[in-house]
Amino acid sequence: MQSFRTELENPIVEKDIIELEKKIRMFREGTLHEEKFRSLRLARGIYGQRQPGVQMVRIKLPYGRVTTKQLERISDVSDKYATGNLHITTRQDIQIHFVSLERTPELWTELEQDSITLREACGNTVRNVTASPMAGVDPEEPFDVTPYAHAFFEYLLRNPICQDMGRKFKIAFSSSEKDTAYAFMHDLGFIPKVRFENGEEVRGFKVVFGGGLGSQPHIAELASEFIHEDDVIPFAESIIRVFDRYGERAKRMKARMKYLIQDIGREALLDLAAKEKLALKSKVFKIDRTINASSVLSDFIAPIPEITEPVKYQQWLKTNVYAQKQQGYVTVGLKIQNGDIKTPVARTLIKLIREIAADDVRLTQNQGMRIRFIKEENLPYVFEKLNELGLANPGFESVADVTSCPGTDTCNLGISNSTGITRELERVILEEYPDLIYNKDITIKISGCINACGQHAMTAIGFHGSSMKVGPLVAPALQVLLGGGATGDGNGVASEKIVKVPSKRGPQVLRTVLDDYHKNALEGELFNQYYSRQGKIYFYDLLSSLSKHDGITPDDFIDWEQEEPYKPAIGVGECASVQIDLIAVLLVEAEEKLQRAGEAFAAAEYSDAIYYAYTGFINSAKALLVSEDKRTNTQAGIIKDFDEHFVSAGKIKLDMRFQELVYQLNTQEPTQEFAEYYINQSKLFNQQLTEYRNSQLIAQ
């Protein structure tokens, strides 16, 4: 593998990319263990695929905003390094697939030329900050949350408090109490609020925390009814620091914020967060409200074309066009099946956007796009141009606009196909229930496994991939869930599991549920109201016959759009046949954190320097605990156990208890003087523990 070098205007980004290239070489040479390399590449948006030898690259697009220049750059990169397809995710990212690992540094360099990052798109980090795609144009919003989401992205990117947490951490901003960004299912969710004090408007947010999906969905709990806009970033930093320190690390399935709240309680967690305030980089953080990408609007007056499909046009106007709070302008939604858009289509769309709209596309949580600031009088022209591209299909974010993750197409964790069943369900709706393109109450979401990347656990009708044994054979299956979704103002309901059926019976499940609802619902009764009134047992009885093995056919053993019989399996990731000395690695990692602490100190970033030094303490102590087979589930546990097993036992001599030494970071302002002292203490500690470890090895 040839060495790769790049020149970028941003030295921090350049260093990041060069480090990635270096670690790829070390991994290929067998000097960097697979587990350690995985952590590094995931934090840089590079994810192993089901297919061996290639990667999925996730491109981080804060709050789903992408300019036409950025979209063009991503298209170029997909053509050059991937397959010429752009996959929009439920977290408003874009993914490209089948990328060679060795080419990822070069790919990243090209993206950064238009300020597009891969950093922290995957891994145990703060993931992409999402927001309502109508933010800034929503007639119901108290104010535009775009600047706040952008500030969070900038503040947390490469922030040492969230580089190596126990698990991922997700943040969302909704534009109004409708909660279209699903704050209720996030680790931190924000709903904009306005108060008036002494006749003046005061902005703030209702904040909820601890929400999550996965195998055990949890609705976020209230953190505060109102946090002032200047305090939301310090509050978030405090929460993240607590999660980093007290969150589970050994048991992956328990390493989310929702479990930490369950373990120690809401009040205890908020108390711990309050104690972090002294150590924060910013006690208050004023957000620049002027960040608004929609300031440059098109003055194009389009010719009025003849409408080639009048019925479709009228449907499109009713389902895909949204009035903005800016008079005379509308937003148009693009329904993109499976979230996949080919680069030739994307490039033609880019030309149209530049002609008729603001340079401010927003990707949606439903895997579509919203094109903003289109003049109402240009709608006939826009429809015709979109129709030529196949992007004027009515029913945007309706029952007929099904959300799905890639499933077994590319994902290591996929159990059964989610993309093929999505296409089939959309066909059933359009052919058999055409009026449902106007229904935006019922949502359908599908995931390829229980992990809920398709958000099946918070939707009216959800499915997740599974398998079921039928005699000696195994068939692809779908777990059916019903009754979930947002209820507004940061509240929501998790979908309930009803039955598991063979995958090929998914369409019949949909028909049965829709027919029953249309036949028996009260006038004006929404689907989830109907589900709640009838109850889980009612729907189990309704669908249980479809779960039985009676009438199983050979076709039931073949997954959607496949030809071969189904085989339950997970994909193969990278491998490296080397042994790892975890203790030595932890000590080296501590030294790397201390090097970063020195760099941050030299840049006068004292709070960051202190946190890097804190992580150095943790890694050093963990190394010795691992050497004696002690549990290292949480950072707080590491600190406590090191005192018990090494300091109190007289194996390591310190001038104070280890807890007192480490937790000084919360009792001192992050000044230059304290940062210098704390870094030096962490260096001395690492040196002492390295010497102790070396003496152990000699004794062996």
In this structure, how many other beta carbons lie within 10 angstroms of the beta carbon of residue 215? Answer: 11
Distance CA 644, CA 639 (A): 9
Distance CA 594, CA 613 (A): 6
Distance CA 456, CA 446 (A): 5
> Residue 700: its pLDDT value, please?
58
pLDDT higher than 80, residue 579: no
Distance CA 92, CA 146 (A): 14
pLDDT higher than 50, residue 574: no
The pLDDT tens digits of the residues spanning 191-238 come to: 999 999 999 999 999 999 999 998 889 999 999 999 999 999 999 999
Chain centroid to Cα 644, Å, comes to 38
Is residue 461 a contact partner of residue 401, using CB atoms and an 8 Å limit? no
pLDDT higher than 70, residue 330: yes
Topology at the third CATH level for domain 11-112: Sulfite Reductase Hemoprotein; domain 2 (3.90.480)
What is the average per-residue pLDDT within 120-146? Answer: 96
What is the average per-residue pLDDT within 629-655? Answer: 93
**Cβ-based burial of 363 (10 A; exposed 0-12, middle 13-18, buried ≥19):** buried
What H or E segment, with its residue span, contains residue 700? Answer: none
Unique residue bearing structure tokens 């760099």: 599
What is the average per-residue pLDDT within 600-626? Answer: 95
Q: Between 339 and 299, whose confidence is greater?
A: 339
| Cβ neighbours of residue 65 closer than 8 Å, sequence gap 6 or more | 146, 293, 360, 361, 362, 363
What is the average per-residue pLDDT within 569-579? Answer: 41
Pairing relationship of beta strands 46-48 and 188-197 according to DSSP bridges:
unpaired
Residues of the chain with CATH 3.90.480.20: 11-112
pLDDT higher than 50, residue 1: no
Tell which CATH classification among 3.40.220.10, 3.30.413.10, 3.40.50.300, 3.40.80.10 matches the domain 130-279.
3.30.413.10
Q: 9-13, 136-140, 602-606: lowest mean pLDDT where?
A: 9-13
**Cβ-based burial of 132 (10 A; exposed 0-12, middle 13-18, buried ≥19):** buried
Class of domain 582-699: mainly alpha
Q: What is the maximum alpha-carbon separation in the chain?
A: 88
Domain formed by 403-557, architecture: 2-Layer Sandwich (3.30)
Residues of the chain with CATH 3.30.413.10: 130-279, 403-557
Residues of the chain with CATH 1.20.120.330: 582-699
Topology at the third CATH level for domain 310-389: Sulfite Reductase Hemoprotein; domain 2 (3.90.480)
Unique residue bearing structure tokens 């954190």: 593
Long-range CB contacts (< 8 A, 24+ apart) of 492-497?
492/179, 492/182, 492/184, 492/185, 492/211, 492/219, 492/220, 492/458, 493/219, 493/458, 493/528, 494/217, 494/218, 494/219, 494/457, 494/458, 495/217, 495/456, 495/457, 495/458, 495/459, 495/460, 495/462, 496/536
Distance CA 160, CA 617 (A): 14
In this structure, how many other beta carbons lie within 10 angstroms of the beta carbon of residue 129? Answer: 30
Q: Shortest CA distance to 223 belongs to which of 263, 173, 187? A: 187
The pTM of the full predicted model, rounded to 2 decimals, is 0.94
pLDDT higher than 90, residue 9: no
